[in-house]
């Protein structure tokens, strides 16, 4: 755990340059706009330890799988959103000496992420080896309104010298991925051109043949006046630059304004890319930095108006939740149904930037409540467009009749995860995708999505579950063998409770959907029956039998369901009794030792209890929580949020706060010692859930909005906003008073502490328990 980020309501602030923490800071201060993003690398040269990263959504490379023992059904590649052209580069020489903080003496240093306005700032004073001292400030943003544009304002002030400063803005596509399986470079050059203040590079990915064109334009000012000195250009393999020099006296200040455009074959024909990049650059240069930033800033202010969470009395908690919300909003905007949310977003290479079940389980609720309905719907459409691939994935493993197994990891619908215990066994992901359909419809009331898209996905998943179970003669029950649950510290187990519970729930829900479609849209349902060769009588009878006769491991003495068969054979020593130097166990223990231990990476059995709280009494929830939480090491970023919500449900308010603070500051404080690899973007959706569902006690049950709020003792108040049923609501807790303010004209029904109320349009209501 680290503690070097200064607490602030709206900003992430690093004071003092600590090179050993640089990779962590590069992750924390990342910026993006839903279409592209980058780590907080320096504009000027830095020869120290760094992970350069600029990423473009949807542009990927299929890196050939590297395994020791190939098994039938293995994916041939791991898809990766790859490092792309570095557009931020500005080389700086002071009287011939390269500015490089790894070689200079850093006299002061501040890095700041202004989350309210979406702006990355950095300032420092450095003494170069030649004795010259400079004061530098940079301001950078990736425009969220003009999504092809990035902009930099870079200022250098001569503190103790006169002479020459040479600046060299450049584009560099000669980039690498540290996680390349075979040390390949994934780009080949198509074209490059540079002249005067502007330059362009077009590159193409190997294999997938995506093309990307990056353009740049810059201007140099001295003491506010444009510098017209000679500009020299250089171009070589996958690289272009433009250099300009200026004479300065002590106290003079120069400013480089650099604009970049990034366009791809995802949106334009290849032969139009340079033209489109130039059009974007011309518009940016004409508008200028301040005008571009004003539009960008206003978008962020509007976004915060609808998605902000305010906490009075706890700056650490306030900073944490806003950091999570900021990253979610800049990672996914929902405008393109081909895009999704990678676990690291645009902040690092780990997990390849591709889609996991995290999206449905942890991110969807945030977008349902804080964004237009189309945004969350596009996350479902993304999966429907991959249904045929999911059927192919299942067929590779021996399933038939249209059974669909969605991939653990994907960007195009094909499975690309290369660890067998995950690829073949962590099949609970199918349940998450089915539940997302229910979650969306339950929240929005948009039942039209069921026909045909929702039903088609549910049918494929239900067919998979019905083939994945088998009848146990010994148990006289259906069993689910050889699986891995959400707790990836257990592999190849039998009858994982969560997986089996999700399977049964999916079958039940699909039967409900069939009844609805037959009653409300019979002609369309009949078309779907014919299209998918659905033998309704036979298949639904089998599903009903599985629902009725599914086996769930249980300890009757403790009154709990077991994570899987044999769980009680383990040494159940609580996590609290392990020496502190054992953590994280995934970095300190052998995998053999982990697999034999009882320790839980993230909510597993508790994942089901969180999703289906209404299926269990509070006493049952408490028994399960009290058994499993002491065995949980929370070494998955997805773990604390579920425990926070359940802790609040059973009245353990201190534990709920502890888990919330851990999830909200997971990256800011580097809890799991892995922030340098990138941020945990998808778990940030879980952070939002832990606030709204734990402290706000918010649930939507059978389409009805419910609250059971409490406030941590150290807080004066909190407030959050949600969209529901066409209304925009502000929810506030202050002491023992609970407020709901309806900022719309739409009347909405709300249940608070088990009593139903009507909140009229543009009304404010006050409640006390």
- What's the CA gap between 153 and 110, in Å, rounded? 16
Q: Which DSSP category does 353 fall into?
A: G
Helix (H, G, I), strand (E, B) or coil at 632: strand
Closest by CA to 570, choosing from 603, 593, 601, is: 593
From the CB of residue 464, how many other CB atoms can be counted at a distance below 10 Å?
25
CA-based torsion, 524, 530, 531, 533: positive or negative? positive
Residue 748's closest CA among 678, 700, 687? 700
Q: How far is CA 39 from CA 25, 47, 52, 349, 418, in A?
A: 9, 16, 7, 10, 26
Catalytic residue set: 488
Cα–Cα distance between 391 and 531 in angstroms, integer? 15
User: What is the secondary structure of 246-308 as a DSSP string?
Assistant: EEE-TT-EEEEEEEEEEEETTTS-GGGHHHHHHHHHHHHHHH-HHHHHHHHHHHHHHHHHHH-
Side-by-side strand order, sheet with 231-236: 97-98, 90-94, 163-172, 239-248, 231-236
CA–CA distance, 223 with 737 (Å, rounded to integer): 56
Euclidean distance between CA atoms 310 and 325, whole angstroms: 12
Residue 322: other Cβ atoms inside 10 A: 24
Q: Are 688 and 696 in contact (CB under 8 A)?
A: no
Q: What sign for the dihedral angle of Cα 304, 117, 323, 325?
A: positive
Element (H or E) spanning 329, and its range? helix 315-331
Which DSSP letter does residue 21 get? G
CB of 575 closer than 8 Å to CB of 632: yes
Backbone angles phi, psi at 411, to 5 degrees: -130, -20
- Cα separation, 516 vs 510, in Å, equals 10
φ, ψ at 609 (rounded to 5°): -65, -30
Structure tokens that stand for 664 in this block: 């909200």
Which of 316, 305, 246, 254 minimizes the C-alpha distance to 664?
316
Q: Are 56 and 81 in contact (CB under 8 A)?
A: yes
593 phi/psi in degrees, rounded to 5: -65, -40
What CA–CA distance (Å, rounded) separates 48 from 22?
9
3-state secondary structure of 431: helix
């Amino acid at each position: 755990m680290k503690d070097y980020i200064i607490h602030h309501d709206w900003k992430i602030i690093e004071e003092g340059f600590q090179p050993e923490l640089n990779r962590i800071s590069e992750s924390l201060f990342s910026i993006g706009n839903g279409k592209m993003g980058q780590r907080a690398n320096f504009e000027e040269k830095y020869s120290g330890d760094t992970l350069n990263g600029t990423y473009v959504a949807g542009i990927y490379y299929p890196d050939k799988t590297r395994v020791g023992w190939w098994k039938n059904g293995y994916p041939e590649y791991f898809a990766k959103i790859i490092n792309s052209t570095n557009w931020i580069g500005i080389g700086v020489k002071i009287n011939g000496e390269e500015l490089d903080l790894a070689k200079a003496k850093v006299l002061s240093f501040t890095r700041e992420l202004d989350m309210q306005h979406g702006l990355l700032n950095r300032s420092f004073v450095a003494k170069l080896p030649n004795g010259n001292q400079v004061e530098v400030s940079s301001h950078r943003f990736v425009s969220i309104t003009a999504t092809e544009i990035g902009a930099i304002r870079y200022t250098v002030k001569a503190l103790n010298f006169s002479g020459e400063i040479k600046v060299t803005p450049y584009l560099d596509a000669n980039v690498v991925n540290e996680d390349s399986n075979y040390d390949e470079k994934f780009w080949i050059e198509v074209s490059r051109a540079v002249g005067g203040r502007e330059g362009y590079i077009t590159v193409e990915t190997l294999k997938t043949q995506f093309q990307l064109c990056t353009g740049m334009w810059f201007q140099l000012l001295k003491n506010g006046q444009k510098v017209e000195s000679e500009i020299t250009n250089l171009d070589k393999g996958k690289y272009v630059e433009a250099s300009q020099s200026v004479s300065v006296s002590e106290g003079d200040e120069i400013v480089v304004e650099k604009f970049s455009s990034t366009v791809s074959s995802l949106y334009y024909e290849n032969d139009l890319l340079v033209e489109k990049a130039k059009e974007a650059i011309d518009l940016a240069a004409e508008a200028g930095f301040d005008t571009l930033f004003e539009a960008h800033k206003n978008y962020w202010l509007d976004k915060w108006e609808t998605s902000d969470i305010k906490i009075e009395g706890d700056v650490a908690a306030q900073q944490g939740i806003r950091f999570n919300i900021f990253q979610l909003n800049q990672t996914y905007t929902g405008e393109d149904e081909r895009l999704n949310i990678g676990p690291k977003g645009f902040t690092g290479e780990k997990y390849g930037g591709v889609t996991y079940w995290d999206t449905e389980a942890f991110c969807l609720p945030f977008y349902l409540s804080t964004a237009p309905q189309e945004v969350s719907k596009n996350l479902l459409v993304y999966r429907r467009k991959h249904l045929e691939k999911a059927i192919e994935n299942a067929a590779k493993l021996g399933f038939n009749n249209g059974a669909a197994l969605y991939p653990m990891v994907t960007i195009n619908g094909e499975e690309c995860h290369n660890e067998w215990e995950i690829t073949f066994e962590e099949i609970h992901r199918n349940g998450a995708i089915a539940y997302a359909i229910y979650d969306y419809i339950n929240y929005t009331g948009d039942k039209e999505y069921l026909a045909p898209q929702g039903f088609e996905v549910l049918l494929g998943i239900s067919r998979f579950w019905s083939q994945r179970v088998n009848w146990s003669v010994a148990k006289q029950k259906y069993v689910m063998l050889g699986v891995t649950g959400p707790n990836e510290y257990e592999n190849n187990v039998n009858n994982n409770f969560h997986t089996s519970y999700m399977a049964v729930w999916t079958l039940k829900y699909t039967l409900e959907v069939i009844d609805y479609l037959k009653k409300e849209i019979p002609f369309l349902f009949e078309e779907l029956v014919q299209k998918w060769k659905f033998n309704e009588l036979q298949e639904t009878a089998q599903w009903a039998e599985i629902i009725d006769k599914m086996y769930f491991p249980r300890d009757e003495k403790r009154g709990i369901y077991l994570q899987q068969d044999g769980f009680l054979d383990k040494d159940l020593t609580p996590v609290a009794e392990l020496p502190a130097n054992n953590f994280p166990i995934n970095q300190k223990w052998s995998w053999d030792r982990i697999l034999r231990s009882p320790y839980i990476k993230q909510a597993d059995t508790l994942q089901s209890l969180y999703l289906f709280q209404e299926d269990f009494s509070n006493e049952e929830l408490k028994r399960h929580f009290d058994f499993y939480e002491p065995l949980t090491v929370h070494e998955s970023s997805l773990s604390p949020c579920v425990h926070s919500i359940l802790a609040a449900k059973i009245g353990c308010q201190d534990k709920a706060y502890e888990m919330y603070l851990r999830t909200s500051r997971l990256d800011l404080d580097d809890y799991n010692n892995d922030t340098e690899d990138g941020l945990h973007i998808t778990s940030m959706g879980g952070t939002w859930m832990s606030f709204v569902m734990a402290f706000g006690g918010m649930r939507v049950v059978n389409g009805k909005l419910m609250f059971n709020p409490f406030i941590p003792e150290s807080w004066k108040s909190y407030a959050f906003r949600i969209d529901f049923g066409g209304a925009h609501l502000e929810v506030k807790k202050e002491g023992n008073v609970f407020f709901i303010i309806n900022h719309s004209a739409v009347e909405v029904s709300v249940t608070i502490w088990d009593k139903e109320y009507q909140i009229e349009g543009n009304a404010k209501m006050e409640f006390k328990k």
